[in-house]
């Protein structure tokens, strides 16, 4: 009997996946970054697969986007610098162990290796584009670890101010939209743009790769 295709559940159950995500989050905690653990992996995974699915791609591509999203930040277990590339290489071992076919391994690692624009990442494939959008959309209060607001840096402030964030796609109008609710008592919308401008540029590029326009709604006001 032919073996069934490996799934996101197999990835989540693999001991290396868990160890790498938890190790990444521990290092980034030491370095003062926001939460990058199972929560972030799950949200990026769900949002990337939602984008691919809503745009009408086939179910296996949806599954591969879900997998790439879940694994996208595991390279932080090695070092923050170059984490997209180290993450792609670490993912190979897990994917080979789970008997993924070579072409699927290639699709997944292209996306992981291209998810970070500061490390030269570009939307080089549909999955890569979806991961970029899903990753950048995960801005939320719950990611801030620093409990002392007085010592918040701009990243803490902007994340803490976001009480709601979601990303969605509409196949008919060909629009991918980011919807945010920002508590302006914590951070002004301008401050949000100050640190997110480069991220929004890569989001727009990723949306264009998926033949869509990119829109941002902040507090129900369309900003882009």
Nearer to Fe ion, 116 or 156 (CB): 116
Question: Minimal distance in Å, beta carbon 41 to Fe ion?
Answer: 8
Q: Please give the distance of CA 31 from its chain centroid, rounded to a whole number.
A: 19
73 binds Fe ion (CB under 5 A): yes
Question: Minimal distance in Å, beta carbon 116 to Fe ion?
Answer: 5
Can you give the length of the chain in residues?
Answer: 224
Nearer to Fe ion, 10 or 117 (CB): 117
Nearer to Fe ion, 92 or 175 (CB): 92
DSSP the chain: -PPPPP-HHHHHH-HHHHHHHHHHHHHHHHTT----SHHHHHHHHHHHHHHHHHTT--HHHHHHHHHHHHHTTGGGGT-STTHHHHHHHHHHHHHHHTT--HHHHHHHHHHHTTS-GGGT----SHHHHHHHHHHHH---GGG-----GGG--HHHHHHHHEEEEEEEEETTTTEEEEEEEE-TTT--HHHHHHHHHHHHHHHHHHHHHTT-EEEEEETTEE--
Nearer to Fe ion, 73 or 156 (CB): 73
Using the rule CB under 5 A, give the single segment among 65-73, 145-153, 155-163, 191-199 that binds Fe ion.
65-73
From residue 139 to residue 178, what is the string marking binding to Fe ion with x (rule CB under 5 A)? ----------------------------------------
Rounded Cα distance, 156 and 63, in Å: 32
135 binds Fe ion (CB under 5 A): yes
Assess contact for 134 and 51: CB atoms under 8 A: yes
Using the rule CB under 5 A, give the single segment among 5-13, 112-120, 143-151, 178-186 that binds Fe ion.
112-120
Using the rule CB under 5 A, give the single segment among 134-142, 168-176, 188-196, 214-222 that binds Fe ion.
134-142
Using the rule CB under 5 A, give the single segment among 18-26, 95-103, 109-117, 148-156 that binds Fe ion.
109-117
Question: Minimal distance in Å, beta carbon 177 to Fe ion?
Answer: 20
Question: Minimal distance in Å, beta carbon 47 to Fe ion?
Answer: 11
Using the rule CB under 5 A, give the single segment among 49-57, 108-116, 182-190, 193-201 that binds Fe ion.
108-116
Task: Please give the residue ranges that form the binding site for Fe ion (CB under 5 A).
Answer: 73, 116, 135
């Amino acid at each position: 009997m032919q073996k069934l295709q490996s799934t996101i559940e197999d990835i989540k159950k693999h001991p290396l996946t868990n160890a790498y995500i938890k190790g990444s989050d521990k290092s980034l905690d030491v370095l003062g970054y926001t939460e990058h653990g199972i929560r972030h992996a799950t949200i990026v995974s769900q949002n990337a697969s939602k984008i691919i699915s809503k745009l009408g791609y086939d179910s296996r591509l949806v599954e591969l986007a879900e997998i790439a999203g879940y694994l996208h930040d595991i390279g932080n277990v090695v070092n923050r610098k170059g984490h997209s590339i180290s993450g792609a290489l670490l993912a190979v071992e897990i994917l080979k162990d789970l008997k993924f076919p070579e072409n699927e391994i290639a699709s997944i690692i292209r996306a992981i290796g291209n998810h970070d624009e500061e490390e030269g990442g570009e939307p080089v494939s549909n999955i890569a584009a979806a991961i970029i959008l899903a990753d950048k959309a995960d801005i939320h209060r719950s990611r801030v670890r620093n409990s002392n607001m007085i010592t918040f840096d701009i990243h803490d402030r902007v994340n803490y101010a976001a009480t709601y964030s979601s990303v969605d796609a509409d196949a008919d109008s060909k629009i991918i939209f980011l919807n945010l609710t920002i508590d302006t008592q914590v951070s002004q919308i301008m401050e949000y743009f100050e640190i997110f401008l480069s991220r929004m540029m890569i989001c727009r590029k990723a949306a264009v790769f998926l033949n869509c326009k990119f829109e941002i709604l902040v507090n129900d006001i369309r900003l882009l």
